[in-house]
Structure 1
């Protein structure tokens, strides 16, 4: 492993005892974190079968684009096991971790890395990660995942399968909340491509200058996320950042850009970011539920009318992914590029 590649590991920088942030991690003044204006957190939707979650799901998708789900059907011990497996990996010796390093020349390769985007001139996130390609099963190769942590591979497979079930259930309910057939969004997405990314945010010497993950909306259909008790996830609502307080028994649901397109803009994908702190490492696990790159995504025609005209151009998902990785997310500029200009009357 080249020394330059090794230096890009945030955990190595953090553990070296540096007192000042390297310049490539310093965010521009207007993007630096500040105390959230509101810390009440995102809505919590109870999926208990005895109730009707659809009204709360609709409200949450309209107002936030993000919400917690409780009584989600995923075993709580599995949520703890996937976090423990990830923490064990990042606490392992560097030579063991580097055996599973990402391809440094590919922006979206599987494995252990730090740099997500392909452009070289952007500010870097204060984060290391391990990305797993988990669905469809033809992409799933546990041989590319750590073999030195007991049960790691089995836990990732079980977690992948449970997250698929939950994502399908949620997409069905989101479809119904839009008065679409229950399977509409799932069929529009096609054969799901699922990635599971475990992120590790090391203590940062100047957390007021850096971000663990820059502000962005996710590119796919839906994201399911859990975080440890340290917290650090923030969601943008009405121009203000809201801290998402950790709930150990709940899962964060984040609407992504393709869901916004399918809803013809009725629901908004959630812009979110991760902040860091000086004293504690933080760990999160994000499960991305995305279309295949060959899939074309367009608004549901049932949601197009005089009151809500067609809002987005159709897009080939592979082109959308290429734009996201090459230009960088920068909030929601990638989905905004698909907006159809309104004709003046």
Structure 2
């Protein structure tokens, strides 16, 4: 627990283990002429399908509004997350673990190799099944309403993700239930990332450039800037929108579509004035689910670009490569996909 950033006194400088070499920390584009597309789920069905596909092809990211998760649920989630990180250290010490295999844990300063680069973030990561059942029994008991609010937020957010996948199927000519079953029924992950105030944001990162290794991710970013997306070789800042989810495609979706849709690198910057907390739900396949390009995207002129492997094998290989490469902060994780297994 001594590693938890949010429990430490305010620092006057960034410790050496968090410092990123300047050449590996290019600034975001100075001209904010590009912004992520916004998909309004209250629009006409055909327009929504087309908007999701267009946004996915160009950015791999978009923001979604009028998604059906109420403002009250979002506010309750924000409040209980703040309450959790404000708890005394002794009330959450039992949750702390550096064991990456634990489904439910509190950890800090993500490390990609022993003694390697650390990042300016504390994280509460929890897993749940769907239907939920007793999969929340090992979640934190404090604050008092945490389990109730987290479960409601997780289930509703996962539902939005599944709706988006179905709309994407229709837009791409897949059967509507293509992503049902094993491709989406692995443990869902609810990740609460807390980025404390940083004395010098120009020297470190909250999270390094990476692609999500799951199927699809939905993030409620809150009002503080921090998320940046790689677009045409430049980093663009994501402008937070009230009550919106930022949606991005994971590596498994790129594989299923044989590269038509891309999983795009993104990173998180820190802030010297404000702490930032984001809440994300990751939808992923079952460990034993075979993931490969769908037949609908294959032909004699367009052979498979990726091998078909189980999601479990992919995750293990993905972690090994990350450990060996230390990411170098600029490595494109799409190169660690099925082609290289």
In the superposition, the TM-score normalised over structure 2's length comes to 0.90
For residue 6 of structure 2, the aligned residue among 11, 28, 33 is: 11
Distance 1:305 1:121 in 2: 46
Distance 1:272 1:87 in 2: 24
Q: Secondary structure at the match of 2:35?
A: coil
- Alignment check: 8 A CA contact 1:257 1:335 kept: yes
Q: Deviations over 1:238-294 (max 9, x none)?
A: 111111111112111110000000000000012111100111100000100001111
Is residue 171 from structure 1 mapped to residue 169 from structure 2 by the alignment? no
Q: Secondary structure at the match of 2:90?
A: helix
Is residue 336 from structure 1 mapped to residue 335 from structure 2 by the alignment? yes
Distance 1:33 1:207 in 2: 12
Distance 1:62 1:108 in 2: 34
Deviation of 1:332 (Å)? 6.3
Structure 2 residue aligned with 1:31: 24
Deviation of 1:140 (Å)? 5.0
Counterparts of 1:317-328 in structure 2 under 5 Å?
317-328=311-322
- Length, aligned pairs only: 333
Distance 1:176 1:117 in 2: 40
Q: Deviations over 1:216-250 (max 9, x none)?
A: 00001000001111121111111111111111121
Distance 1:269 1:139 in 2: 31
Q: Deviations over 1:13-58 (max 9, x none)?
A: 4xx2322211111113232252434534210011115453011111
Q: Against the structure 1 CA distance between its residues 244 and 9, is the aligned structure 2 distance closer, same or farther, given a 3 Å change threshold?
A: same
Structure 2 residue aligned with 1:151: 145
Bigger shift: 317-326 or 171-180? 317-326
Deviation of 1:142 (Å)? 3.2
Structure 1 residue aligned with 2:64: 69
Deviation of 1:339 (Å)? 5.9
Distance 1:37 1:158 in 2: 39
Structure 2 residue aligned with 1:185: 179
Deviation of 1:122 (Å)? 2.8
Q: Deviations over 1:166-225 (max 9, x none)?
A: 111111111222111111133460523201001110011111011001110000100000
Q: Against the structure 1 CA distance between its residues 139 and 243, is the aligned structure 2 distance closer, same or farther, given a 3 Å change threshold?
A: farther
- Alignment check: 8 A CA contact 2:293 2:304 kept: yes
For residue 142 of structure 1, the aligned residue among 136, 141, 154 is: 136
Structure 1 gap ranges (5+): 1-5
Is residue 265 from structure 1 mapped to residue 264 from structure 2 by the alignment? no
Q: Against the structure 1 CA distance between its residues 145 and 36, is the aligned structure 2 distance closer, same or farther, given a 3 Å change threshold?
A: farther
Structure 2 gap ranges (5+): none
- Alignment check: 8 A CA contact 1:107 1:118 kept: no
Q: Against the structure 1 CA distance between its residues 298 and 206, is the aligned structure 2 distance closer, same or farther, given a 3 Å change threshold?
A: same
- Alignment check: 8 A CA contact 2:28 2:234 kept: no
Deviation of 1:145 (Å)? 2.4
Q: Secondary structure at the match of 2:281?
A: strand
Instruction: Compute the RMSD of aligned alpha carbons.
Output: 2.2
Bigger shift: 33-42 or 71-80? 33-42
Structure 1 residue aligned with 2:54: 59
Counterparts of 1:224-263 in structure 2 under 5 Å?
224-263=218-257
Distance 1:247 1:263 in 2: 29
